[in-house]
Amino acid sequence: ALTTAQSAVLSTAQAAALENADLGVLSTASFAALSTAAIAVLSTAQVVSGLTTAQVVALTTSQAVALTPTQTAILSTAQAAALENADLGVLSTASFTALSTAAIAVLSTAQVASGLTTAQVVALSTTQAAALTPIQSAVLSTAQVSALENTDLGVLSTASFAALSTAAIAALSTGQVATGLATDQIVALTTAQLRSLTTASTAVLTTVQAAALSTAQLMGFGTSQIQALSTAQLVSFATNATYSWSTANVTTLSTAQSSAVLTTAQLSALDATDIAALTQITPIVLDLNGDGVSTLGLSSSSVEFDLAANGQKLRTGWIAGGDGLLVLDRNQDGVINNGRELFGSATRLADGTTAADGFAAMKSLDTNGDGMLNDRDKDFANLKVWVDADLDGKSQTGELKSLDELGIAQLDLNASSSSATDNGNLLGLVSSYTTSDGATHEMADVWLAVMKPANTVAATDLGQKVTELAQAITTFKEELNHGAATIALNSWPDREAATANLAVSSNVRDIVSILSHIDAHGALLEHRFAVAATPLSVATEASSWDLDALEPLKNGTLAAT
């Protein structure tokens, strides 16, 4: 029956003398009238057995401030859950830290989101942090997450860590990421969370953390995050993770990053489109004049060459005068057509995969497996060195030198990695070759910088269409030659239409001949060719295309009227 006025004047001694049951029957108004001094002297027994949840709800903020660590340490889960947001927020850091892990675990999302201060978050013990539930983690603000100590962040369960919002992930400091995140937490990151990591945080991922990332997670990386990765991080990625990168991501790799990928088995996981998207492509270069391997940067080189062997000639860094490219004229046409006839990351191996680097491409010819290419290996005599004297990227007969002509006796396949750059081109792997006089000279796998066009995808699509058209016409021609079309004619309902289609068969061979001299972009190939002396006309119901047999191409494209 104590009134609020009476409760308000109880001394600390009188408050401490209240039996547990008597304390428990005080009305919420009378309890709320107790002085802060009276609250502070309540015994643990009074708090545990006497304090009702209704009285906890009735606590004023000034009374909550007065709660001691000894008192908060024995609050039951029901009492902790009854604390109003404001009352929770005014608990001293010592009193908050004294809360049991069970009490922490029952805090509502409203208490966590609105009551928990950053100071209290900083004060969390590791056991309390480990007790945070996924539901609670999901409502932590960016300020609260930023306040988590590294060790506290590291003990969050994977479920609780995975529940953090993307905004919270973005708020993580570099220290929290590098020191706090455990590998199981890294594994628990969603692609959206991973993408929300800042470039600074991405850059400080340890190699152990980076290695824990899965293929699906790597797909979440943005281009700016890819650019922030160190070479050590790239090397640590699993091969299947590299495979998941989009062409856009591969394109963003810097010279140093490309070398980190290209010197590992990761390159074999990249498809042809990704390899073509790399801004550096690797061929083997030999120092022929004794001044070391020298190159021309993009600003100094006017060379356009199909380094990636995908039908696209692109502006590229190039070898300087006096050095040479190791080549193998694989189709024996007397011309080095593209990067497939060099030794580098565009070289196709016998199993259909692409070589990881120039030395890996050379090793495919090391038939006796001694780590050297010399006259004891089957194709050694077929190797040549392209000395591009006029630095135009177009091989001429006089520029293709035999190894014997240059006195080259042996090529050492045991290369060491290098971070040396020359005019923006990376000398990623370095070894030597030996001449017949016993002298050794530098040989390097050089990642040449390549200027990517804005319409790479469109050009690739066009090239594919031209290829498919040529293949379709060739197939049709073969069917005609073998009578397949005649057989099909008898089964066509519209015999007149079939006959009209067969009427153009005499022109098919000429069309194929012309298409064989057109590149993937519809442009005339460099070498000259002979054509029939009569005009070629293909008639359709809608239009007529006349191809001048003496000038089938005008302005680099098929002439049409």
Q: Rounded mean pLDDT of the chain?
A: 80
Please state the rounded mean pLDDT for residues 349-366: 91
pLDDT at 499: 47
Q: How many CB atoms lie within 10 A of CB 518?
A: 19
CA distance 242 to 226: 11
> Where are the extended beta strands (E) located within 468-518?
none
Whether residue 413 is found in the same domain as residue 487: no
Q: Is pLDDT at 514 greater than 70 in this prediction?
A: no
CA distance 433 to 440: 6
Residue 267 maps to a domain: no
Q: Give residue-wise pLDDT tens across range 97-155.
A: 999 999 999 999 999 999 999 999 999 999 999 999 999 999 999 999 999 999 999 99
Q: How many CB atoms lie within 10 A of CB 428?
A: 27
Please state the rounded mean pLDDT for residues 278-284: 72
pLDDT at 533: 37
Q: Is pLDDT at 512 greater than 60 in this prediction?
A: no
pLDDT at 454: 54
Whether residue 463 is found in the same domain as residue 433: no
Whether residue 413 is found in the same domain as residue 287: yes
Domain that holds residue 481: 456-558
The pTM for the full model equals: 0.50
Percent of the chain residues past pLDDT 90, beyond the cut: 53
Q: Give residue-wise pLDDT tens across range 519-534.
A: 554 555 544 333 333 3
More confident site: 495 or 220: 220
Q: Give residue-wise pLDDT tens across range 294-325.
A: 999 989 999 999 998 888 898 999 999 999 99
Residue 333 maps to a domain: yes
Give the pLDDT band (50/70/90) at residue 372: very high
Whether residue 101 is found in the same domain as residue 123: no
pLDDT at 252: 64
Whether residue 393 is found in the same domain as residue 302: yes
Please state the rounded mean pLDDT for residues 437-450: 93
Question: Domain end: 116, 144, 160, which one?
Answer: 116
Question: Domain end: 392, 418, 449, which one?
Answer: 449
pLDDT at 211: 83
Q: What is the DSSP string of 42-80?
A: --HHIIIII--HHHHHH--HHHHHH--HHHHHT--HHHH
Distance of CA 496 to the CA centre of its chain: 56
Q: How many CB atoms lie within 10 A of CB 464?
A: 12
Give the pLDDT band (50/70/90) at residue 537: very low
Q: How far is CA 369 from CA 330, 378, 518, in A?
A: 21, 12, 41
Contacts of residue 46, Cβ cutoff 8 Å, sequence gap at least 6: 16, 18, 20, 23
pLDDT at 82: 96
Closest CA to 322 of 299, 291, 298, 284: 291
Whether residue 466 is found in the same domain as residue 407: no
Could you give the number of structural domains in the chain? 4
Least confident of 119-128, 437-446, 547-556: 547-556
Which two three-digit tokens encode residue 315? Answer: 């502006």
Q: Give residue-wise pLDDT tens across range 2-61.
A: 899 999 999 999 999 998 898 988 999 999 999 999 999 999 999 988 899 999 999 999
- Which DSSP category does 189 fall into? -
CA distance 286 to 301: 18
Dihedral over alpha carbons 308, 311, 312, 316 (to 10 degrees): 40
pLDDT at 280: 55
Q: How many CB atoms lie within 10 A of CB 154?
A: 19
Whether residue 334 is found in the same domain as residue 440: yes
Please state the rounded mean pLDDT for residues 79-101: 96
- Which DSSP category does 518 fall into? B
Whether residue 362 is found in the same domain as residue 420: yes
Whether residue 460 is found in the same domain as residue 365: no
pLDDT at 104: 96
Please state the rounded mean pLDDT for residues 472-500: 47
Residue 266 maps to a domain: no
Q: Is pLDDT at 388 greater than 90 in this prediction?
A: yes
- Highest-pLDDT range among 227-231, 244-248, 555-559: 227-231
pLDDT at 261: 56
pLDDT at 215: 74
Whether residue 304 is found in the same domain as residue 379: yes
Question: Domain end: 449, 468, 487, which one?
Answer: 449
Q: What is the DSSP string of 360-390?
A: HHHHTT-TT-SSEESTTSTTGGG-EEE--TT
Q: Is pLDDT at 260 greater than 50 in this prediction?
A: yes
Please state the rounded mean pLDDT for residues 56-76: 95
More confident site: 232 or 330: 330
pLDDT at 532: 37
CA distance 161 to 193: 10
pLDDT at 365: 96
Least confident of 232-236, 249-253, 366-370, 436-440: 249-253
Give the phi and the psi of residue 208 in degrees, each rounded to 5: -65, -45
462: burial class by Cβ within 10 Å (0-12, 13-18, 19+)?
middle
pLDDT at 408: 98
Whether residue 340 is found in the same domain as residue 411: yes
Residue 259 maps to a domain: no
More confident site: 559 or 205: 205
Q: Is pLDDT at 354 greater than 60 in this prediction?
A: yes
pLDDT at 151: 93
Residue 340 maps to a domain: yes
Q: Give residue-wise pLDDT tens across range 209-224.
A: 888 888 778 777 877 8
Residue 262 maps to a domain: no
Residue 257 maps to a domain: no
Give the pLDDT band (50/70/90) at residue 506: very low
Residue 337 maps to a domain: yes
CA distance 253 to 227: 6
pLDDT at 190: 87
Whether residue 246 is found in the same domain as residue 143: yes
Q: Give residue-wise pLDDT tens across range 175-201.
A: 999 888 888 998 888 888 888 889 899
Q: What is the DSSP string of 541-559?
A: SS-EEEE-TT--EETTEE-
